[in-house]
Amino acid sequence: MIPVKGFSGQKVAVLGLGRSGLAAARALRAGGAEPVCWDDNPAARERAEDEGFACSDLRRQGAFDGIATLIVSPGIPHLYPEPNPVVAAALEAGVPVDNDIGLFFRSFSGPEWNNFDTPPRVIAVTGSNGKSTTAALIHHILTETGREAQLAGNIGRGVLDIDPGGDGSVMVLELSSYQTELARALTPDVAVFTNLSPDHLDRHHGLGGYFAAKRRLFAEGGPDRAVIGVDEAEGAFLAGQLSEGPADDRVIRVSVARKLTGPGWQVFARKGFLSEYRKGRQAGSIDLRAIKGLPGAHNHQNACAAYAACRSLGLAPRVIEDALHSYPGLPHRSQIIAEADGVTYVNDSKATNVDSAVKALSAFKKIRWICGGLEKEGGIAALNGAATEVLKAYVIGREAANFAMQLDMDAQVCTSMAAAVEQAVADSQPGETVLLAPAAASFDQYDNFEQRGEDFSEQVKTRLGE
């Protein structure tokens, strides 16, 4: 646990008592603060009270009298589409609003660091797609090479729930836009921006607000090194803002769309080969094609970003390459769950938006595609031009018929996962891939994308008789 500093003897309100909220309450108490907790869900309040936390309705008049600050969980809106009433009340009372990420960065360092040979480092990863894989890949590389490392944030443990940093240790944080947009302190040593595509637009009041939330990771404190995917206009703009000139190697530019040139520091992948150039000379190269845990161009982008982050810490190219080959992949992200009779079954339930689904579709050949769910803003038209390898679509979800009508390919309305998997298995031939890449949210049929992916995996195993 990271005890929170700066609030000893003060009351701090905590809104939202899920994983991050409860971890924040514990860390505040460990630092001498008095947490005052609230969640609209009675079961969540009961769990907090079982741990000895006081729960008080923060919606009542005068609830913020004597409160030093309000800590808000990531899923609770503070501005768009409209502020949560508790957040609005705090702002009206002049009470600062923060989150667990802000508390982490203000509390992570300590006087014991003066005795370390190498102070702990923080690598923070954000972006629209690939940030989970990139963060997990960085963590994997570090642990495989003998570095003490922890993985937290939007993946793994809550940031305040991790152990204090040791000599030479590295904290790898995956941060969503919900987390970066509100944190009052953001000071990683290395910050990574994977890419940007439309997502969560209602929460951020449009693409500009969404990019602004991501950009805060680089603008609020200023990392020592920034790894920036420059294949979209926003990434190129961000790299330009952070750089002092073409040779400024504090910015490492990453691409899977083109070869990068110039006197600076670049890492790019073309035709399955990763290349690192620095000061106009090649400094490293890796053949990514044989790495089963990283299929497709989108995973090659993740590999480039993770490679660049680890190189910024001084790891050698060949050491990183060896670690890449042992990376098993993340559940629900281009995860190969079975291979039978020449057919490969891939679970990419995390492909919850069109852009991530497009990347999954480009990673495989001869695809029997299971898709559908709760459509996100912007529609699914972009899928049609990217589905050249799709032999047939098997559409799930409550609005499966409407989803299928928008596809310009052979599409069968299945509605349920069981029916989709049964038909896809029956139709498949050797050399083909049955791919779950929904291009939609899961909430019409499942609690989350993990549950959807687990259902797919179980249905596949059932059909294959495993």
Q: Please say if the pLDDT value at position 153 is more than 90.
A: yes
| CATH 3.40.50.720 domain extents, the chain | 11-98
Report the range of poorest mean pLDDT among 290-294, 321-325, 362-366. 290-294
List all residues 6 or more positions away from 376 whose beta carbon is below 8 Å from its beta carbon: 199, 352, 353, 354, 440, 441
Token couple for 341: 């009779």
The answer to whether 130 is a known ligand-binding residue is: yes
Q: Which of 458, 133, 152, 118 is nearest to 307 (CA)?
A: 133
| CATH 3.40.1190.10 domain extents, the chain | 103-325
Q: Please say if the pLDDT value at position 221 is more than 90.
A: no
CATH superfamily of 11-98: NAD(P)-binding Rossmann-like Domain (3.40.50.720)
User: Can you give the pLDDT at residue 356?
Assistant: 86
Confidence of residue 41 (pLDDT cuts 50, 70, 90): very high
Confidence of residue 220 (pLDDT cuts 50, 70, 90): confident
Confidence of residue 397 (pLDDT cuts 50, 70, 90): very high
335-463 CATH fold: Protein-Tyrosine Phosphatase; Chain A (3.90.190)
Q: Please say if the pLDDT value at position 290 is more than 90.
A: no
Q: Please say if the pLDDT value at position 313 is more than 90.
A: yes
| CATH 3.90.190.20 domain extents, the chain | 335-463
Q: Name the more confident of 299 and 33.
A: 33
User: Can you give the pLDDT at residue 170?
Assistant: 97
Q: Name the more confident of 295 and 450.
A: 450
Average pLDDT over the chain, rounded to whole?
A: 94
Q: Over the stretch 223-245, which tens digit does the pLDDT of each residue have?
A: 999 999 999 999 999 999 999 99
Confidence of residue 187 (pLDDT cuts 50, 70, 90): very high
Confidence of residue 296 (pLDDT cuts 50, 70, 90): confident
DSSP string, 183-246: -S----SEEEE------SHHHHTSHHHHHHHHHHHHHSS--SEEEEE-SSHHHHHHHHHH-SST
The answer to whether 416 is a known ligand-binding residue is: no
Q: Please say if the pLDDT value at position 297 is more than 90.
A: no
DSSP string, 302-343: HHHHHHHHHHHTT--HHHHHHHHHT----TTSSEEEEEETTE
The answer to whether 132 is a known ligand-binding residue is: yes
In angstroms, rounded to a whole number, what is the distance separating the alpha carbons of residues 257 and 201? 25
- Give me the CATH code for the 103-325 domain, please: 3.40.1190.10
Residue type, 16: G
Q: Over the stretch 103-143, which tens digit does the pLDDT of each residue have?
A: 999 999 989 999 999 999 999 999 998 899 999 999 999 99
Q: Which of 206, 200, 456 is nearest to 352 (CA)?
A: 200
The answer to whether 128 is a known ligand-binding residue is: yes
The answer to whether 127 is a known ligand-binding residue is: yes
User: Can you give the pLDDT at residue 382?
Assistant: 79
Q: What angle do CA 3, 6, 12 make, to 5 degrees?
A: 80
Average the pLDDT over 384-394 and give the result: 90
Q: What is the pTM of this model?
A: 0.85
